[in-house]
Amino acid sequence: MTGAPPGPPRLPRVLGWPLLLLAVVLAGFGTLGTLPLVTALAVAFAAVALGALLRLLPRRSLRPLAPVAPLVGLTVLAVYAVPTGVTALYGGVAALVLLIWLADDPERLPGGSARAVNRLLIPTVGLGIAWASAFLLPGGVAPLGAGIALLVVVVALAALLLRSPEVFDRDAAASS
Amino acid sequence: MNEPDEPSFRWRPLSYLLVAFAAVLFAGGVAGRNPVPIIAAFPLLLTPLVAPILGVRRNPRVAVTGQVEGAGGVIDVVFRLTPEAPVSPGDLRVQVPVPPGIDERAPPRASLEGGRLEVRLAWSVPQPTVASVPLPEVRWEDPIGLIERPVEVSGEPLAIERYPPELHRAGIVRLEHTIALPGETRSRAIGATGEFFGIREAVWQDPPRVINWLASARAGRRLANEYSLDRTGDVLILIDARPTALGPSMDTRLLGIARAAAYGLADAFLQEKTRVGLGVYGEFLSFLPLATGRTHRLRIHQMLFETSLAAVAGPAERCGVALRRYYARAMTTIVLSSLADDESMLLVPHLRRRGFHPVVLSPSFLPLAALTSDLSPEDEAVVGRVGRLLRREQIARTWQDAPAIDWTDFWSLGGFVDFLNRPTLRERGV
């Protein structure tokens, strides 16, 4: 079985601007955390480099593992981040940049990042609402608990929907 | 409306990965009383959830057109995929199965041209082959690769036909008389043999002997003679598709070569309005009765595309008995067999016993074995020498019952066509 596409050469595709942007954003995120600067930068750059390396591997079966490395890097840096509004916003932006990097998969045609922008609008709005709710509204213990409960519900809902994809199947209109 | 059993969209593994990391970030944020991981988790969680809402709502449709380019053993297969709006062609993932007997020369290339996706496959055909290239398997993926949907593909499959060019001349062979009427049997069909009928514009397939050189010189362009065909006989092409001692891999490749030869031979004889029958013998006989015309040509092509190696080898006598039920005796029969073991060599005597006049065209396994060998040059030379002796002995044994042509240069069949044209000279050792 032969697959298509890739089009242009693979190395320039892997080393494109989304990778550089991800490296810069993750490194910047690392500097805002409690980890020592060298460790934070090492985590950021190692995660990005490993992700790029996995995308360059000749064995196709290992290439889908490429997103794991930047995701682990983002998780480590987020857990050790200083709990401030700016850092939280930066973390959310880093996650969005990670999604843009995912869209720039060299297994697909070039231009995936541009096509993915409109798919990121709702997550960006959601991120903004969550950030504003957490840091701009006056809060206390009760809203925090409500927020956690809401998050648990959202995660449970996500798990439920992932198990039954037919929920999203739409029938065509009778008039079409 | 989606059919009840129509496969719908599904999340790809990346979706599960993002949700899992989102859950880890949530857990880390709650455990560490830190809102940063929770905020960072939001995009990772929301993006897979909104992907089906923002993506296409039902399985998209794609119209596929294709063509085979190139000459000889180097071919380019081009598929152009035009998706219905609003699907972006850049979101299509295409998989094309490589037919057996064909190698991939280079990785596939894809490019966007306006509203369609062009996929160019660089293949090479090391040996003669005929194959049907099915329509590509296409699926739609969202730009991030979170969900996918199967795509309904419409279009026509492509055919790859590569066989020795000399087979174009095979059709002018004067066949053994198998028609009940004695003497010459005139046909209203026009062809390349028989009584002179007229002059026409030459086409590129015309051999030099058909060209009317004097008329061409006077007219300033190539003109060819046409003849009233005198139909004397029919031809039966029989493919031995039974497994042999060579193993399934080698048998499949040899069968692919035999199919290509049968394809070319059938085309050449049908071009001359000869009635052609086709038999494929595996465990049992599959056959097409004698007929001519374009419809019959399509039937033969279809049958050859679908021919594959049988799982079980039927006895040679069964083939002779079955053939005699459907075809007249004394018919010129071109047997395509590897003659690789005793059972395959038994086929020819049984055909003779049932009254057929077989001519055996046997694709040799030696060139293929040399290509796939990993022996040292010295060992390879010894094995090659023993293989040639074995092969010569097989061909000699077959010659006791019928003429057998050892086909080693797969891109040339000039010797075989010459033999069909002048069998008596060849029998005298010319």
Question: Which structural domain, as residue segments, surrounds residue A121?
Answer: 10-135
Nearest CA in chain A to B9: A165
- List all residues of chain A from 125 to 154 with a beta carbon under 8 Å from chain B: 126-127, 130-131, 134-135, 148, 151, 154
Q: Mean pLDDT throughout A142-157?
A: 67
CB contacts, 8 Å: B9 with chain A: 165, 168-169
Tell me the DSSP string of B217-282: HHHTS-EEEEEEEE----EEEEEE----TT-HHHHHHHHHHHHHHHHHHHHHHHHTT--EEEEEES
At B189, the pLDDT band (50, 70, 90 cuts) reads low
pLDDT at B421 over 90: no
Q: Is B147 a domain residue? A: yes
Residue B344 has pLDDT above 50, yes or no: yes
Tell which of B229, B253, B280 closes a domain.
Answer: B229
| Residues of chain B contacting A55 with CB distance shorter than 8 Å | none
Residues B277 and B365 in one domain: yes
- Residue A61 placed within a domain: yes
Of B10, B30, B39, the CB nearest to A88: B39
Residue A120 lies in a domain: yes
For residue A171, being part of any structural domain is answered with: no
Reported as a pLDDT band with limits 50, 70 and 90, residue B230 is low
Residue B4 in domain: no
B237 DSSP β-pair partners: B278, B334
Judged against a pLDDT cut of 60, whether residue B425 lies above it is answered with: no
Domain count, chain A: 2
Distance CA B356, CA B329 (A): 5
Q: How far is A174 from chain B (nearest CA, A)?
A: 8
- Cβ pair B37:A96 closer than 8 A: no
A65 and A37 co-located in one domain:
yes
Q: Model confidence over B260-281: pLDDT tens digits?
A: 999 988 988 888 778 899 999 9
Domain-embedded: residue B365:
yes
- State the DSSP H helix or E strand holding residue B214, giving kind and residue range, or none if neither: helix B213-219
The residue of chain B with its CA nearest to that of A172 is B1
pLDDT above 70 for A70: yes
How far does B254 lie from chain A, in Å, by closest CA?
22
For B7, name the nearest residue in chain A, comparing CA atoms only.
A166
B331 against B361, higher pLDDT: B361
Given a cut of 70, whether residue A152 has pLDDT beyond it is no
**Sole residue written with tokens 């064995």:** A59
Mean pLDDT of chain B: 84
Point out the domain boundary residue: B178, B202, B229: B229
Same domain? For A105 and A19 the reply is yes
User: What angle, rounded to 10 degrees, do the helices at A17-31 and A68-79 form?
Assistant: 20
Backbone angles phi, psi at B281, to 5 degrees: -110, 115
> What amino acid occupies position B373?
S
Whether residue A166 is predicted with pLDDT greater than 50 in this model: the reply is yes
Flag whether B152 is in a domain.
Answer: yes
The answer to whether residues B19 and B84 belong to one domain is no
Q: What is the pLDDT of residue B182?
A: 53
Residues A97 and A129 in one domain: yes
Nearest to B96 among A2, A154, A166 (CB): A2
A75 and A116 fall within a common domain? yes
CB B287 within 8 A of CB B280: yes
Sign of CA dihedral B373, B376, B377, B378: negative
Is A123–B47 a contact, with Cβ atoms under 8 angstroms apart?
yes
Confidence band of A1 (pLDDT split at 50, 70, 90):
very low
Residue A173: pLDDT above 60? no
Confidence of residue B293 (pLDDT cuts 50, 70, 90): confident
For an interface test with A, give the residue of B18, B26, B42 to mutate (most A CBs within 10 A): B42
Is the pLDDT higher at B157 or at B191?
B157
Give the pLDDT band of residue B299 (cuts 50, 70, 90).
very high
How close is the nearest chain B Cα to the Cα of A36, in Å? Answer: 18
Q: Classify each residue of A21-45 as buried b or exposed e, where b means 16 or more C-beta atoms within 10 Å of its C-beta.
A: bbbebbbbbbebbebeeeebbebbe
Confidence band, pLDDT 50/70/90 cuts, at residue A144: low
- Chain A hits for B21, CB-CB cut-off 8 Å, are 71, 74-75
pLDDT of A176 reads 44
Alpha carbon distance A106, B353 (integer Å): 63
Q: Do both B40 and B73 map to the same domain?
A: no
Q: What is the pLDDT of residues B28-47, one digit of tens each?
A: 888 888 888 988 998 998 89
Domain housing B83: 61-161
Distance CA B307, CA B304 (A): 5
CA distance B287 to B290: 9
Does one domain contain both A144 and A100?
no
Q: Average pLDDT for residues B226-231, to the nearest whole number? A: 72
Chain B segment 27-46 residues within 8 A of A by beta carbon are: 28-30, 32-46
**Are A94 and A157 found together in one domain?**
no
Q: B6: pLDDT confidence band, cut at 50, 70 and 90? A: low
The whole-number pLDDT of residue B180 equals 55
Chain A residues close to B95, C-beta within 8 Å: 1-4
Q: What is the mean pLDDT of residues B68-81?
A: 87
* Residue of chain B nearest A161, judged by CA positions: B49
Q: How many Å lie between the alpha carbon of B78 and the closest alpha carbon of chain A?
A: 12
Average pLDDT over residues B2-19: 77
The pLDDT value given to residue B178:
58
Residue of A nearest to B30 (CA): A148
Supply the pLDDT for residue A77. Answer: 92
Compute CA distances B257 → A104, A123, B416, whole Å: 43, 57, 15
**pLDDT above 70: residue B226:** yes
Residues B414 and B269 in one domain: yes
Give chain B's end-to-end CA distance (angstroms, integer).
Answer: 71
Question: Which candidate from B9, B35, B107 shows the least CB-CB separation from A88?
Answer: B35
- Measured between CA atoms, the residue of chain B closest to residue A116 is B143
Question: What distance in Å separates the CA atoms of residue B285 and residue B303, rounded to the nearest whole number?
Answer: 12
Question: In Å, how far is B233's CA from the nearest CA of chain A?
Answer: 44
* Whether residue B115 is found in the same domain as residue B126: yes
- Convert the pLDDT of each residue in A8-38 to its tens digit: 556 667 788 889 999 999 999 999 888 899 9
B107-146 pLDDT, tens digit each: 888 888 878 889 999 998 888 888 888 888 998 988 888 9
Residue A4 lies in a domain: no
Number of domains in chain B: 4
Q: Is residue B353 part of a domain?
A: yes
Q: Do A99 and B43 touch (CB under 8 A)?
A: yes
When pLDDT is averaged across residues B368-376 and rounded to a whole number, the result is 76
- Express the helix, strand and coil content of chain B in percent, nearest 5 each: 40, 30, 35
Could you tell me which residue, B425 or B63, shows the higher pLDDT?
Answer: B63
Looking at the fold, whether B251 and B198 belong to one and the same domain comes out as no
Which chain A positions have a beta carbon within 8 Å of B29's beta carbon? 78-79
Of residues B39, B48, B90, nearest to A130 (C-beta)? B39
Give chain B's largest Cα–Cα span: 104
- Based on its alpha-carbon atoms, the radius of gyration of chain A, rounded to whole angstroms, reads 19
Are the beta carbons of B90 and A79 separated by less than 8 Å?
no
Contact status of A99 with chain B (Cβ, < 8 Å): yes
CA distance B403 to B419: 9
A81 φ/ψ angles, rounded to the nearest 5 degrees: -80, 150
A78 and A14 inside one domain: yes
Quote the CA–CA distance of B378 and B396 in Å, as a whole number: 27
Cβ of A79 within 8 Å of Cβ of B98? The answer is no
DSSP string computed for A65-115: GTTHHHHHHHHHHHHTB--SHHHHHHHHHHHHHHHHHHH--TTS-TTHHHH
Task: Report in angstroms the alpha-carbon separations of B259 from B100, B162, B295.
Answer: 12, 10, 19
What is d(CA B330, CA A33) in angstroms, rounded to the nearest whole number?
Answer: 92
Are residue B43 and residue B129 in the same domain, yes or no?
A: no
A121, part of any domain: yes
Least CB–CB distance from A79: residue in B8, B32, B42: B32
Mark whether B262 and B335 lie in a shared domain: yes
CATH number, residue B283 = 3.40.50.410
- Bridge partners for B119 per DSSP: B79, B110
CB distance B235 to B336 below 8 Å: no
Is B164 strand, coil or helix?
Answer: coil
- Helix, strand, coil shares, percent, chain A, to 5: 75, 5, 25
CB contact under 8 A, B90 and A112: yes
- How far apart CA B2 and CA A165 sit, in angstroms, is 14
How far is it, in rounded angstroms, from Cα B53 to Cα B269?
A: 59
| Model-level ipTM above the cut of 0.90 | no
Q: Which residues contact B338 (CB under 8 A, 6 or more apart)?
A: B240, B244, B246, B251, B254, B258, B344, B362, B363, B364, B365
A56 and A115 both lie in a single domain = yes
d(CA B23, CA B43): 12
**Does residue B210 form part of some domain?**
yes
Query: Is the residue at B238 inside a domain?
Result: yes
The answer as to whether B286 is a domain residue is yes
